[in-house]
Amino acid sequence: MSFRISLAGVAAVALLAGCGPKPEERATVRPTGPTPRPAVARARVEPERWTGPWAGVIFTPEYASAACHGRGAWKRTGDKSWEDRPDDNAAKAREREASAITSTQGRARRVADILTVGVARFEDDPSDGDSFAKYTYLGRLEGLPFDVVAGSHWEWSTWTVVDALGRRARLSGPPVASPDGKAFAATADDQMGEDFNGLQIVEDRGGEFVSSQLDAPYACDPVWKGPDEIAIKILPGTVADHEADLDAQPASAWISARAVRDGSGWKLVRPKDG
C-alpha cells in the first residue's frame, strides 16, 4: 500500500510540474528607474593650433613715449598733430594694420570690427564707457610663435600676446620676450589712475600664463639680462611722490633698478638694496 501511495504522490508531483508555466513564459522582474548606460570613453579634444608658417612683420617693443624719455601722457611732444587730426592718424593706423595682416599669409584676418589671429578672436566695441575697445594687429615676435595685438580702451591700453593655440597673455605695456621665450616683461607708467604703475612679468607655467606685478614708480625700458633678471629705469621714491610734479622731472631723474627672481616670484632691487 505504501509503495502505491508513493507512486501516486510522485505522479501527482510530476503532473503538477507539467502543468506549470514554461520557462520562457515566466514573468521577468525588471529593475525600476532609468536604465544605466555603459560608460563611453571620450577622447581628449586638443585645442586647434595654427600650423602654417609664422610669417609676418616683426613687432618691435617701443618705449620712446614713456615718461622716462620726457614724453609721458601729459607731456608728449610739441607736435600736436596726433591731437588736431585724429582722423588722419586713424587712417594711417588702419593702413599699417592692413599691411601687417597681409604679411601673415592668412594667420591674421580682419572682417569689419572683428580681428582674428590664428584661433584667437578680438571684437571691437565702439560704445562709450568702460566696454569701449579697439584692437589693432601689430605683428609677430621675432623668432617666436607669438603675435601681438594692441588694445585701446576707455582710459587705458593693453598689449596682448597670442600663441599658436590661441592662448593670451595680456600686458600693460609693449611686451619684451625673455631670452628663452618663456616669459614677457612690460612696464607701465600710468598717470591717469586707471592702470597699475610698475613692472609686469608674464610667464608660461605648465601651459598657463601667470602674471606678476611689481610696484616701481614710472618704470620704463625693460631689458632682460637673463631668464631671472630684468633691468629697468624707475623714479626714486614712490608713485605718490611724483604725482604732482611728474611733468617737471627731467629724463636724468630716472635711476637704474632691476627685478630678480625670488623663489616662484619676483622682487624689485633698487640701487640702495645692492
Q: What is the pLDDT of residues 1-40, one digit of tens each?
A: 443 444 444 344 344 444 444 444 444 445 454 555 555 5
First to last CA, the chain: 121
Only one residue has cell 532609468, namely 34
Closest CA to 56 of 118, 106, 104: 104
Residue 127 has pLDDT above 70, yes or no: yes
Range list of H helices, the chain: 2-19, 81-84, 86-102, 239-242
Residues contacting residue 241 through CB under 8 Å, at least 6 positions apart: 217, 235
Q: Which phi and psi (to 5°) does residue 251 adopt?
A: -60, -30
pLDDT band at 104 (very low <50, low <70, confident <90, very high): very high
Residue 80 has pLDDT above 90, yes or no: no
Segment 60-74 mean pLDDT: 78
Distance CA 102, CA 106 (A): 7
Segment 58-82 mean pLDDT: 68
Q: Give the pLDDT of residue 86.
A: 52
Residues contacting residue 220 through CB under 8 Å, at least 6 positions apart: 63, 66, 67, 68, 69, 187, 189, 232, 233, 254
Distances in whole angstroms, Cα of residue 80 to Cα of each of 32, 62, 83, 88, 241 = 80, 20, 5, 13, 29
Q: Give the pLDDT of residue 43.
A: 58
Count other C-beta atoms under 10 Å from residue 219's C-beta: 31
Residue 136 has pLDDT above 50, yes or no: yes
Q: Give the pLDDT of residue 191.
A: 64
